[in-house]
Amino acid sequence: MIALLDALLAQTPAADVSGPAQINLVQAIVLGIVQGLTEFLPISSSAHLKVVPIALGWGDPGVAYTAVIQLGSIVAVLWYFWKDLTNITVGAVEAVVRRDYKSQEFQMALGLVLGTIPIVFFGLLIKALVPDFDKSPLRSLGAIAIASIVMSLLLAIAEKIGKRNRTYEKLTVQDGILMGLAQAIALIPGCSRSGSTLTAGLFIGLERPAAARFSFLLGIPAITLAGLVELKGALGEGIGDAGVAALIVGTISALVFSYLSIAWLMKFLKTQNTWVFVWYRLAFGVAILTALAGGAVNNI
């Protein structure tokens, strides 16, 4: 965090870049690493994909590029949880055939479907009402900092008061809906999709590994839809400054590091709490606000 603050303070307002930046292959690899390491950790990939390149003097890569390389993350989570997805899908189909709508697999499948609706609805609403969301104040560094701090406090409260007495096998449709509503908050950069759903999972009494596991599964439709929509838009516009090679390299990089971060977090949460993420998010937000207050960067 000190290194990040130093990098931010090293930037000057004159060097600030407000539009999507041109991306070379080295930058694409780094951005893929950032995407992979932050997509599934509760610290916000969208925030880091904006802050890190600005801190390094590269400028903001833009919403389209960051959404496209998220496809690497979706391949990673499909790869890691393929057995879970297969069991849920097959079990849900068998439950429908038997009309056993109380089966665990059917309940989870329905929870995933219903839990995806809020972020799709609000995502489409934002698309309709804020056509230039890429340059919206909601994506400004100040907004990201505030969101990071607020979410760190919410995670701290959830960690403190959450009962953590329900396992993955005890998930219900209601859990899917509640975590889905929390996931929609992540449309605001800095909130973190995995962070908001993990926090919600702890609030409703899930064990940490169960909350994280369901959070990952719930993220599959949301991340996929966002990536495909932006990919279509990017291809239609000729991709722009990012370039096909940079998109491919960034996506592969994101895939590799997403898989590693998922595996690490699932193992970590079996024995550890989430306080390290609380303190990191708090420090991350404070570092950005400090840089903004000192005039080191513009609030873009």
- Taking the C-alpha atoms of residue 255 and residue 71, their distance in angstroms, rounded to an integer, is 8
Q: How confident is the model at residue 123 (pLDDT cuts 50, 70, 90)?
A: confident
Looking at residue 89, what is its pLDDT?
95
Looking at residue 241, what is its pLDDT?
54
Q: Tokens standing for 99?
A: 């009309």
Residue 107 identity: Q
User: What's the Cα-to-Cα distance from 41 to each of 31, 237, 293, rounded to whole Å?
Assistant: 15, 32, 28
How crowded is residue 169: how many other Cβ atoms within 10 Å of its Cβ? 8
Looking at 110-119, 137-146, 230-239, which range is the least confident one? 230-239
pLDDT at 299 over 50: yes
Contact 217, 168 (CB under 8 A): no
Q: How confident is the model at residue 131 (pLDDT cuts 50, 70, 90)?
A: confident
Strand partners, 206: 166
Contact 233, 64 (CB under 8 A): yes
Q: E-strand spans in 232-288? A: none
Looking at 10-14, 151-155, 167-171, 215-219, which range is the least confident one? 10-14
**243-246 contacts, C-beta under 8 A, 24 or more apart:** 243/23, 245/25, 245/28, 246/23, 246/24, 246/25, 246/27, 246/28, 246/65
Q: Tokens standing for 139?
A: 């994506």
3-state secondary structure string across 21-78: CCCCHHHHHHHHHHHHHHHCCCCCHHHHHHHHHHHCCCCCCCHHHHHHHHHHHHHHHH
- Taking the C-alpha atoms of residue 284 and residue 98, their distance in angstroms, rounded to an integer, is 51
Q: How confident is the model at residue 69 (pLDDT cuts 50, 70, 90)?
A: confident
- Taking the C-alpha atoms of residue 219 and residue 182, their distance in angstroms, rounded to an integer, is 11
Question: What are the backbone dihedrals phi and psi of residue 210, each rounded to the nearest 5 degrees, phi first?
Answer: -65, -45
Contacts of 187 (CB under 8 A, 6+ apart): 119, 122, 123, 126
How crowded is residue 23: how many other Cβ atoms within 10 Å of its Cβ? 25
Looking at residue 19, what is its pLDDT?
47
- Taking the C-alpha atoms of residue 222 and residue 216, their distance in angstroms, rounded to an integer, is 10
Looking at residue 236, what is its pLDDT?
61
141 vs 60 pLDDT, higher one: 141
Q: Tokens standing for 272?
A: 């550890």
- Taking the C-alpha atoms of residue 92 and residue 190, their distance in angstroms, rounded to an integer, is 34
Per cent of the chain over pLDDT 90 is 62
- Taking the C-alpha atoms of residue 65 and residue 300, their distance in angstroms, rounded to an integer, is 17
User: What's the Cα-to-Cα distance from 47 to each of 20, 51, 55, rounded to whole Å?
Assistant: 15, 6, 12
| DSSP code at position 170 | G
> Cα angle at 49 between 48 and 52, to 5 degrees?
65
